[in-house]
Amino acid sequence: MNPAVVFEQERDSVWRAAYAITGVAQDADDVVQDTFIRLLNTQPSTERPLRPWLRTVAANLSRDRLRQRKRRAYRGPWLPSPVGIGNVPPGGRSLPADLPELPDARMLRAESVHFAWLLVLEALTATQRTVLVLRDVLGCSTRETAAALNITDNVVKVTLHRARKTVTAEHSPPQDCDNTPIIGALLQALATADVDGIVALLHPQATFDSDSNGQVTAAGVPLMGAERIARVLVHIQQRGVLQSLDLTPLGSLSALAIATTSTIPNWPKRSVLVVDIRDGLIHHMWSQLNPAKLT
């Protein structure tokens, strides 16, 4: 079969693996492009299945990009790209000042790769993360994974065991339920600057992280505690003018794609707020403000 045809058939799995390893959609796009360029330049034998070759190249390119990212300085918390909801459409719905109206949700299916899971993967080494993705996301065998990364089968088994142990210890899967009423109550409380109303929706030990890498105005440090988070959210809401808002499921999480304007220098024009709701309370909030991750 023509290698270019096979590549098109494998494009989605290559992208998904690259995104799971790097956590950045733009990096995944670049890995797909670089993998295709190598395919054209190398012209691997068509007598053997091309899928393992593509996964080997993509996995190693992704691991290299992850290592490079880890070596670079980053200002403030680092968050993954919220895949599928990065661009807020211009001229989106306007919201009444008294009670925000939730727009119809657009479905997003990230399959094996979820925002919260990618956060947990940050605790792994580059090799652990790559092995975990090859084995548990792409379903590669131990032998295929070892061949792709040029390591032994035994190293793959030990690395995978440690990676799974870390992920299991740190990751609690989000609850898959309808959180629209809680999101609606949060928006209403924000619209009326009701700090107590927001506090009532948050777990007492809730956390809030915002990723801007210093490119736009942001907290810059992790926030903890319902009272503190509520006051910061109201402060942010009062300093900007909301232009549009879109509620989107992000795996089992809820995400708000937001567009705002403000006279404040470096004010973020667009952002994505991801919310983790468990047992009727908001436990975690992540705000992606970095323009590089919203394109």
| Domain range annotation of the chain | 3-72+115-170, 180-293
**One fold for both 3-72+115-170 and 180-293?**
no
pLDDT value of position 49:
79
Q: Which of 292, 110, 290, 122 is nearest to 217 (CA)?
A: 290
- Average pLDDT for the chain: 85
Is a pLDDT exceeding 80 seen at residue 110? no
Of 3.40.50.720, 2.50.20.10, 3.40.228.10, 3.10.450.50, the CATH number of 180-293 is 3.10.450.50
Degrees to nearest 5, angle at CA 226 with 221 and 229 = 40
Query: Average pLDDT for residues 194-206, to the nearest whole number?
Result: 97
Does the pTM surpass 0.85? The reply is no
pLDDT value of position 15:
92
**pLDDT of 48-70, one tens digit each?**
778 888 989 999 999 999 999 99
| Whole-number Å distance between alpha carbons of 22 and 20 | 6
Q: Which two tokens stand for residue 42?
A: 């190398």
Question: Strand 202-211 to strand 223-224: parallel, antiparallel, or no bridges (unpaired)?
Answer: antiparallel
Which helix (H) or strand (E) element contains residue 8? helix 3-22
Of 3.40.50.970, 1.20.140.160, 3.90.1150.10, 3.60.40.10, the CATH number of 3-72+115-170 is 1.20.140.160
Query: Average pLDDT for residues 135-156, to the nearest whole number?
Result: 94
Is a pLDDT exceeding 80 seen at residue 71? yes
Picking from 3-17, 151-165, 167-181, 202-216, which range would have the lowest pLDDT averaged per residue? 167-181
| Whole-number Å distance between alpha carbons of 218 and 6 | 44
User: In angstroms, what CA-CA distances link 85 with 57, 76, 274, 288?
Assistant: 28, 22, 11, 11
CA dihedral of 143, 149, 150, 156, whole degrees rounded to 10: -50
> How many other C-beta atoms lie within 10 A of the C-beta of residue 236?
20
